[in-house]
Amino acid sequence: MISPELKLPILEDQMRIDPSDVLGEFPVLFVRKVVRRLNNRLHWDAEAVQESAGIGPQRAADFIKALQKAGLAKANRGRDSGTWTTTQLAQSFGAASAAKPITRQTAERVLQEFLERVDQVNSNAYFLARVTKVVLFGSYLRPELDRVGDIDIAVELRPKESDYQRVREATERRLADLADRGRRVAGLLARESWWRGEVLRFLKARSRAISLHDYGGEKELIDAVPHQVIYPDARQRKNKPRKKSTPTRPGEEWF
């Protein structure tokens, strides 16, 4: 059983979890799944936990208590009394890996495939966001290690459309298209930021070897530890003409 008093991880060593662990009475992988969903909300209540976790009122109350005890959630006060917010620790916990370490050769292949997906995002007009920076940090930057944990990658995204209203309209059209195909995005924050979320899902491509971070939100922490900007590199910084592309929806296996 893991201790309920989780400690903030050091970014050089990505937070890792044992799939057999529990938090309170809840399996740790179940907790991570629900925390990831709650992280997409500005604040949430017991009903949101019931919906996200698929559990009843009493177990939702126990779940919230377990999150608070572990430092993954904090109760709001004042007008928002009766709701909770996930903490910075919860953001790290949501990105925690239960995967086993991988060989450096495998890590290099995964990283190369990731950068190829970056090029696809930036060249395919289907995607609403552009990758402007990719930063590598963590155990991958330690050449003495034959095996590494997750490949810690932070990305900076910007909308391809400069007019924010058009970004919102394009996002709504994309969400409507998903709904027509039977896929619904829950949560106001997740819906409003889908222009980013869609790209992040594609970049991660369900890879358990990649721990993907928001550089904009974690810049101060990432810049404080050893890191390397790998995109754009010196060659890519030269102003090369961009090829125009026809919007092409990628396969749905990454969703």
Confidence band, pLDDT 50/70/90 cuts, at residue 252? low
- Give the burial class of 211: count Cβ atoms within 10 A of its Cβ; 0-12 exposed, 13-18 middle, 19 or more buried: buried
Radius of gyration from C-alpha coordinates of the chain: 19
Which of 94, 124, 149 corresponds to the end of one domain? 94
Same domain, 89 and 107: no
Same domain, 111 and 218: yes
Residues constituting the chain: 255
Neighbours of 182 (CB within 10 A): 6
Q: Residue 102 pLDDT more than 50?
A: yes
Residues 24-71 pLDDT 10s:
999 999 999 999 999 988 899 999 999 999 999 999 999 999 999 999
Give the structural domain span for 165. 102-250
Residue 206 inside a domain? The answer is yes
CA dihedral 240, 244, 247, 253 (to 10 degrees): -30
Domain count, the chain: 2
Confidence band, pLDDT 50/70/90 cuts, at residue 204? very high
Q: Residue 109 pLDDT more than 70?
A: yes
Q: Residue 246 pLDDT more than 80?
A: no
Q: Residue 95 pLDDT more than 90?
A: no
pLDDT at 78: 92
To the nearest whole number, what is the mean pLDDT of the chain? 85
Residue 160 inside a domain? The answer is yes
Confidence band, pLDDT 50/70/90 cuts, at residue 99? confident
Residues 133-148 pLDDT 10s:
999 998 899 999 898 8
